[in-house]
Amino acid sequence: GENVEQHPSTLSVQEGDSAVIKCTYSDSASNYFPWYKQELGKGPQLIIDIRSNVGEKKDQRIAVTLNKTAKHFSLHITETQPEDSAVYFCAANRDSGYALNFGKGTSLLVTP
Amino acid sequence: SAVISQKPSRDICQRGTSLTIQCQVDSQVTMMFWYRQQPGQSLTLIATANQGSEATYESGFVIDKFPISRPNLTFSTLTVSNMSPEDSSIYLCSVPAYGANEKLFFGSGTQLSVL
């Protein structure tokens, strides 16, 4: 099946620093790329997404970039805070439809 | 965003038994999705539940093991049948956002442990 690769699997940063999580996808038909944040005991929460006709999108401290040619997309979190600590998943839609293929997740720890 | 309620939030079950998980949404949606998240792993789509027709299952998942009901546009159930310890996972219901079908929202999940 089509895969979404996500790196790193774990990331530890100091409060105030930036965090970057990178993903690659293989399905050429993918045109929608969401990012989810999952806290312990909760379901994934959509935090930002990007469509293939856009190269970058920003929402306050988080931003996502997409390189469709290289099939790369990244999540950038600036001025990290302890409450940003969670598992982050990237995803890409399959066959331009609703079903999502997820990356394996990045466990982000922001230390005070 | 839709409000998605899942029941139960967690359960501990004996092998060989079955558990039915309920998903209730506060608005009508055409499609509902069931995902599985094995311990420390990513999310895997089990099936798409469509109202008025049979669910569509992904490769590796079969109706006999994971029967799904979709009696109306706001409700669905997923049953995990004849459970084994390998079925221990978080099971998540997901629905698309109104007017933006690509955006998927997830319920809080059902944490299932099979002994």
pLDDT exceeds 90 at position A94? no
pLDDT exceeds 50 at position A1? no
Residue B49 identity (one-letter amino acid): A
Most distant CA pair in chain A, distance = 42
The residue of chain B with its CA nearest to that of A51 is B102
Mean pLDDT, residues B62-67: 96
Q: Which of B3, B41, B42 to mutate to test the interface with A (most CBs of A within 10 A)?
A: B42
Report the C-alpha gap between A11 and B42 in whole angstroms: 17
pLDDT exceeds 90 at position B89? yes
pLDDT exceeds 80 at position A84? yes
How far is residue B13 from each of residues A84, B23, B112, measured CA to CA in Å? 34, 19, 8
Mean pLDDT, residues B46-71: 92
Q: What is the pLDDT at residue A98?
A: 80
Q: Which of B102, B110, B111, B113 to mutate to test the interface with A (most CBs of A within 10 A)?
A: B102
B101 pLDDT band, cuts 50/70/90, is low
State pLDDT tens for residues A29-57: 899 999 999 998 889 999 999 998 889 99
Nearest to A89 among B42, B48, B102 (CB): B42
Nearest to B109 among A43, A102, A104 (CB): A43
Mean pLDDT, residues B29-33: 89
pLDDT exceeds 50 at position B42? yes
pLDDT exceeds 60 at position A79? yes
Q: What is the pLDDT at residue B96?
A: 87
Beta strands in chain B (DSSP E): 4-7, 10-13, 19-25, 31-37, 43-50, 56-57, 68-72, 75-80, 89-97, 100-106, 110-114
Residue B23 identity (one-letter amino acid): C
Mean pLDDT, residues A5-31: 95
DSSP letter assigned to residue B52: T
Q: Is A97 exposed, middle or buried (0-12, 13-18, 19+ CB in 10 A)?
A: middle
Q: What is the pLDDT at residue B33?
A: 94
Q: What is the mean pLDDT of chain A?
A: 93
Q: What is the pLDDT at residue A97?
A: 75
Q: Which residues does B43 contact at the CB level (< 8 Å), separation at least 6?
A: A44, A89, A100, A102, B35, B36, B37, B92
